[in-house]
């Protein structure tokens, strides 16, 4: 999602539509944060780990590793969604 927003911002900046670019970025900020927090919870980490992005380069790499990990079967935030609903 971040890649699409980045590409869209570049295209809008080239077209001279900086105001629209800012509005789109702000509109997608909250959904992006919530998606990343949910994924971090699935891997057993707190959503506050997103703040690691404040550390240049290293923070991005660490966050990508956390987001790419497989979900734990059971964690503090609930059951792994891949296990399915028990019948």
pLDDT tens digits along 19-68: 887 888 788 888 888 989 988 988 888 999 999 989 989 998 999 999 89
| pLDDT, mean of residues 3-26 | 80
d(CA 43, CA 67): 7
Q: How far apart are CA 1 and CA 38, in angstroms?
A: 14
Residue 1 predicted with pLDDT over 60: no
pLDDT confidence of residue 86? 57
Identify the weakest region by mean pLDDT among 6-10, 28-32, 77-81.
77-81
Q: What is the pTM of this model?
A: 0.68
Instruction: Return d(Cα 65, Cα 49) in angstroms, integer.
Output: 12
């Amino acid at each position: 999602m971040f890649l699409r927003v980045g590409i869209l911002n570049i295209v809008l900046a080239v077209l001279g539509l900086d105001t629209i670019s800012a509005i789109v970025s702000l509109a997608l900020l909250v959904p992006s944060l919530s998606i990343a927090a949910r994924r971090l919870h699935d891997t057993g980490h707190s959503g506050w780990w997103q703040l690691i992005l404040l550390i240049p380069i290293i923070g991005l790499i660490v966050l990508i590793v956390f987001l790419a990990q497989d979900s734990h079967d059971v964690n503090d935030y609930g059951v792994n969604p891949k296990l399915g609903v028990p019948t």
